[in-house]
Structure 1
Amino acid sequence: MSALTVVLALLSALGNGAASVLQRRAAMDQVREERGDGGPMRSLLRLARLLRRPFWLAGLAAMVVSALAQVGALAVGRLSVVQPLLVSELLFTLVVGSLVFRHRPDGRTWLSFVMLAAGLALFLVAADPSSGSPTALGGHWMSVGVVVAIAAGALIAVARVLRGAARAAALGSATAVCFACTAALIKELTGRFAGGVVAVLTDWPLYAVCAVGLLSFLLLQSTLRAGTLAASQPALTLGDALVSIALGWMLFGERIELGPRIVPEVVGILLMAIGIVGLTRSPAMCGGWDQAVPEPRRNTGTPLPGGRSGPGGEGTP
């Protein structure tokens, strides 16, 4: 596990967390200003207007930085290391969210932060994922792709009949499956860089990354509108890590250490789970912390001589 891999993966996690918060803020601004539902045409118009909001554009920029960092991490590291490190996205989500939505984390929240970070570190050190093949083993992509498509489709179908937090969690899980698949495809693509630019442009992984990445992006937008980050983010981050470990094993032959090391691995997973539950139940995330959009400060005007105030203010008798 190289330091460069860790740095790039953490930078990607920071970008993802910032993107989730900023685009959630844009969605909440839009919900507050544009009441009422509509048909497909109204939904398209609403999405078009969302693309012009500064917070959404800032989130898009953070997403681009995250994607570039993730490509770099997957080019030099293992899928089963890079994606679990992205669990730290939840930490960055809450830090950035506390700034954007003006909710300061309390002591219990920071304790949950520490437990999640410690659990992640313990799991990765104990598991010590082995190096695998730079590209997928022969013929595995077809069967794995079918399984991934069925899993994502089933989760989306379940989400359609749910409401509230359950709907957000189901959509977050579907998005996690697509994100993990996108990461595996990026790993496949970077493994083919040695063949040259022409080989990369004329082979299927590049276009599969674009297609699945676009689907992941659209699913993320639906997830952000479906419910709070407290409901969607744990399913999104943990699901991405677990599915990525499975894909690393099935596609690239990456292995994690078992035997006696399974004890600290399980402890690490439990610490992560407790940390995530603690974060989602902390005062920083309860009560719709990411729904209350800070109101702009009102200008009361500048006092004028004689006890009067400027425009917008109230004078004294």
Structure 2
Amino acid sequence: MSLRSVLQRRAAAEEADPSSEPARPWSWAVRLVRRPIWIWGAVLLAVSGLCQAAALATGPLSVVQPVMTTELLFTLAIGGIVFRRRPDGRTWWALLAMATGLAAFLALLEPSGEPTTVPGVRWLWAAVAVATVVVALVAVSPRLSSAPRAAVLGTATALGFACTAALIKDATGRLDEGVAALFAAWQLYTAFAVGLGSFLLLQVTLRAGTLVASQPALILGDALLSVVLGSVLFGEHVELGLRILPEAAALAVLVAGTAQLARSPLLGGEEDKEAAW
């Protein structure tokens, strides 16, 4: 996933100059899909989706999706090569903070659960709730300035990706009934539709503002909603109670590390000639 993120972020960044855009709406999207670097990123997204499906078929949603926040760590490593930059001291500290915060959060939360499928009525309530929030976020975003707009759209995108993961997990949970049951499940095709919509919204998010604004919302929104969906839809168990305060502290460290990493020139979001190799 890291390589496709770097490729698509680089393509989006190279198409981000509004002064060069024709008057036609969404003309930037047409130019973007014609770029080989963006196409390779899309192909790698499909491959990573298959790997994610395999992980979701064998592990709890509340474990798989939070662990995927480590994508940013690997993205930085690959970004250092693609964008010819090296991490500075603050980036190393941010890496440590993010890794420590994630490890502590998962250790304290102790998510667990057995493979299961979701009754349709649970999906109905969850879909209404999430769709309402996503529509509200997208509707309010045009009224905001660049950074808040990127954060709001990033949150909406994260909700879409979390729901996509939950749908994939529900669909792959039917593999015990045979491959035919998997391809007969509405969840599989809904996951494709929701995932495609989230992918398109991601392109808008990347153009709305800097990665500093959007990246924490993208990564943490996906992880946190996945924990909620894992508990509500799949009955996965998480430890709260007296642990909630240290869990909040670990999450705060994770948020701080993620926000700082999003500032790194290794993600191609900022120009920093002194850091170039």
State whether structure 2 residue 12 is matched by structure 1 residue 27. yes
Count, aligned residues: 273
Cα distance in 1 for residues equivalent to 2:240 and 2:164: 27
State whether structure 2 residue 157 is matched by structure 1 residue 172. no
2:81 equivalent in structure 1: 99
1:138 positional shift: 5.4
- Is this contact kept in 2: 1:179–1:213, CA < 8 A? yes
1:77 positional shift: 0.2
Q: Secondary structure at the match of 2:150?
A: helix
Cα distance in 1 for residues equivalent to 2:213 and 2:100: 22
Cα distance in 2 for residues equivalent to 1:244 and 1:65: 21
1:36 to 21, 36, 42: 21
1:146 equivalent in structure 2: 128
Please list every run of at least 4 consecutive aligned residues from structure 1 whose deviation after the TM superposition is greater than 6 angstroms.
Answer: none
1:257 equivalent in structure 2: 239
Which structure has the greater CA radius of gyration?
1
1:137 positional shift: 4.1
1:65 positional shift: 2.5
Higher relative contact order structure (alpha carbons within 8 Å, sequence separation ≥ 6): 2
Alpha-carbon RMSD: 2.4
Q: Secondary structure at the match of 2:133?
A: helix
Of 240-249 and 89-98, the range deviating more from structure 2:
89-98
- Is this contact kept in 2: 1:101–1:293, CA < 8 A? no
In structure 1, give the amino acid aligned to 2:64.
V
Cα distance in 2 for residues equivalent to 1:103 and 1:124: 31
Alignment of 1:13-92 (within 5 A): 15=1, 17-31=2-16, 35-40=20-25, 43-44=26-27, 46-92=28-74
1:205 equivalent in structure 2: 187
In structure 2, relative to structure 1, the CA distance for the partners of 1:146 and 1:105 (3 Å cut) is same
What TM-score does the superposition give when structure 2 sets the normalisation length? 0.90
Cα distance in 1 for residues equivalent to 2:49 and 2:272: 28
Alignment of 1:259-278 (within 5 A): 259-278=241-260
In structure 2, relative to structure 1, the CA distance for the partners of 1:216 and 1:145 (3 Å cut) is same
2:269 equivalent in structure 1: 290
State whether structure 2 residue 137 is matched by structure 1 residue 155. yes
1:99 positional shift: 2.8
2:108 equivalent in structure 1: 126
- Is this contact kept in 2: 1:116–1:272, CA < 8 A? yes
Of 107-116 and 192-201, the range deviating more from structure 2:
192-201
- Is this contact kept in 2: 1:152–1:177, CA < 8 A? yes
Of 176-185 and 196-205, the range deviating more from structure 2:
196-205
Cα distance in 2 for residues equivalent to 1:203 and 1:228: 38
Greater helix proportion: 2
Cα distance in 2 for residues equivalent to 1:33 and 1:54: 21
- Is this contact kept in 2: 1:133–1:253, CA < 8 A? no
In structure 1, list runs of 5 or more residues that go unmatched. 1-14, 295-317
Cα distance in 2 for residues equivalent to 1:27 and 1:176: 18
- Is this contact kept in 2: 1:168–1:223, CA < 8 A? yes
In structure 2, relative to structure 1, the CA distance for the partners of 1:51 and 1:209 (3 Å cut) is same
State whether structure 2 residue 210 is matched by structure 1 residue 228. yes
In structure 2, relative to structure 1, the CA distance for the partners of 1:278 and 1:201 (3 Å cut) is closer
